[in-house]
């Protein structure tokens, strides 16, 4: 039985996926025609991934969520093994300087996307077995240890952005579990020091921070992408320049169908179009929060919160990067950016939200 909330969630996901395919078709048309001699190359592939995604969403919506809880630990460790395997030359595929994918030819799977969902299930299961969080060593040391293992493996790929999103989602779950705030102030100071060391130790991360502070210091290098993104947003105005009439997608903004697709949306659809898309994102987040608040079972509540946080944080970071509020991280815009693994896993997570909502309705 699908409740009204489940139907609304499904319609919102469907609307976002359709918008994503349409905007991928527009933003990638010039690049796809040049590279593959097919203007709709990326749109067709995203459509195929969307079909797989809807299949995954339907299957996950039918999974008894409490049965999945019993396998949370196994799913976590399987996903850890995939993160290790992807780092091995000859097994993991190297692309744009990152060894983050499995695949053959142009069909690639990114295991870090699956790890995000696996750690949410594992941490939710762990915390649900504790009535209250009283001691850091007993109640929170293991979740942070697992988080550190996953973050470290993802960082080795390197995929700093995915690690940040995953870490933030886990922290939101732990906050929802009523952990004392004093723990987070101390851990936050340690995390800030560790992040600073990671940024300083890697020249490309330091270049991104410098380009974030002043992209015009290196307008043809590290600052190029954010400058071109802002050049795309500026002409959009209130109503935009019109669908498929973007100038920045003509080889100015690199691979505009990926992380910076929102810049093309702003250029072609303007402020009104961006507002409509953000309203859809907020509506989906609202549904996720309502589903979480309706749960009496702590595992279901924490899982719904984690999935919603994962989606919300990824949206926030991507939009912040595109408009210049955050340094470039390589985070995709959920349901909108081109990317098979990201789309399928995010749709599967929405299926789990539907399963959680249905389990409440059947009680």
pLDDT mean over 99-103:
74
Task: Please determine, for residue 16, whether its predicted confidence score (pLDDT) is greater than 90.
Answer: yes
pLDDT of residue 218: 74
Task: Please determine, for residue 358, whether its predicted confidence score (pLDDT) is greater than 90.
Answer: no
pLDDT of residue 131: 59
pLDDT tens-digit profile of 113-156?
889 999 999 999 988 887 566 666 666 777 888 888 888 888 88
Q: How far apart are CA 234 and CA 270, in angstroms?
A: 9
Hey, which of 2-11, 47-56, 243-252 has the most confident mean pLDDT? Answer: 47-56
110, with CB counted inside 10 A (0-12, 13-18, 19+), is buried
Q: What is the DSSP letter of 104?
A: E
pLDDT tens-digit profile of 322-354?
988 888 877 899 999 998 888 999 999 999 999
Q: What is the DSSP letter of 215?
A: G
pLDDT of residue 110: 83
Task: Please determine, for residue 94, whether its predicted confidence score (pLDDT) is greater than 80.
Answer: no
**What b/e readout covers 22-34, taking b as 16+ CB neighbours within 10 angstroms?**
ebbbbbbbbbbee
**What's the first-to-final CA gap in the chain, in angstroms?**
12
Residue 255, phi-psi category: left (phi > 0), alpha (psi -120 to 50), beta (remainder):
left
Question: Which pLDDT band, with edges at 50, 70 and 90, does 286 fall under?
Answer: very high
pLDDT of residue 134: 62
Question: Are the C-beta atoms of residues 348 and 57 closer than 8 Å to each other?
Answer: yes
Q: How far apart are CA 268 and CA 243, in angstroms?
A: 5
pLDDT of residue 135: 65
pLDDT of residue 279: 96
Q: How far apart are CA 217 and CA 215, in angstroms?
A: 5
Domain ranges of the chain: 4-361
Q: How far apart are CA 80 and CA 74, in angstroms?
A: 10
pLDDT tens-digit profile of 155-186?
887 777 888 888 889 888 888 887 777 767 76
SS3 at position 332: coil
Closest CA to 322 of 277, 286, 284, 288: 277
pLDDT mean over 63-88:
88
To the nearest whole percent, how much of the chain has pLDDT over 70?
88
Question: Are the C-beta atoms of residues 341 and 103 closer than 8 Å to each other?
Answer: no
Closest CA to 310 of 363, 347, 357: 347
Question: Are the C-beta atoms of residues 334 and 314 closer than 8 Å to each other?
Answer: yes
Task: Please determine, for residue 55, whether its predicted confidence score (pLDDT) is greater than 90.
Answer: yes
Q: How far apart are CA 248 and CA 176, in angstroms?
A: 42
CA–chain centroid gap for 317, Å, is: 9
pLDDT tens-digit profile of 186-229?
677 767 776 677 666 666 666 667 677 777 777 777 778 888 88
- Across the chain, what does the average pLDDT equal? 85
């Amino acid at each position: 039985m699908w409740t009204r909330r489940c139907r609304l969630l499904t319609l919102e996901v469907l609307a976002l996926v359709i918008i994503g395919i349409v905007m991928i078709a527009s933003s990638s048309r010039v690049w796809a025609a040049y590279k593959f001699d097919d203007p709709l190359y990326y749109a067709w592939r995203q459509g195929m991934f969307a079909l797989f995604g809807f299949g995954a969403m339907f299957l996950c919506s039918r999974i008894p969520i409490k049965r999945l809880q019993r396998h949370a630990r196994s799913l976590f460790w399987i996903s850890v093994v995939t993160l290790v395997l992807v780092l091995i030359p000859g097994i993991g595929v190297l692309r744009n300087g990152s060894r983050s994918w499995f695949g053959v030819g142009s069909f690639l799977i990114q295991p870090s996307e699956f790890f995000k969902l696996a750690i949410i299930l594992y941490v939710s299961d762990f915390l649900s077995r504790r009535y209250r969080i009283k001691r850091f060593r007993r109640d929170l040391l293991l979740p942070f240890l697992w988080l550190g293992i996953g973050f470290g493996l993802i960082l080795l790929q390197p995929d700093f952005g995915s690690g940040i999103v995953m870490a933030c989602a886990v922290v939101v779950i732990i906050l929802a579990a009523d952990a004392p705030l004093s723990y987070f102030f101390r851990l936050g100071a340690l995390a800030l020091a560790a992040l600073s060391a990671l940024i300083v130790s890697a020249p490309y991360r330091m270049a991104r921070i410098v380009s974030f502070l002043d992209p015009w210091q290196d307008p043809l290098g590290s600052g190029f992408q954010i400058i071109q993104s802002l050049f795309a947003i500026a002409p959009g105005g209130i109503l935009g320049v019109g669908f498929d009439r973007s100038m920045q997608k003509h080889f100015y903004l690199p691979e505009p169908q990926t992380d910076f697709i929102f810049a093309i949306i702003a250029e072609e659809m303007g402020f009104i179009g961006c507002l409509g898309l953000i309203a859809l994102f907020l509506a989906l987040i609202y549904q996720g929060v309502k589903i979480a608040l309706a749960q009496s079972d702590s595992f279901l509540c924490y899982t719904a919160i984690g999935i919603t946080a994962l989606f919300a944080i990824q949206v926030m970071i991507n939009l912040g990067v595109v408009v210049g509020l955050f340094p470039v991280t390589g985070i995709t815009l959920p349901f909108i950016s081109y990317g098979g693994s990201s789309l399928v896993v995010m749709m599967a997570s929405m299926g789990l939200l539907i399963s959680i909502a249905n389990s409440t309705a059947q009680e």
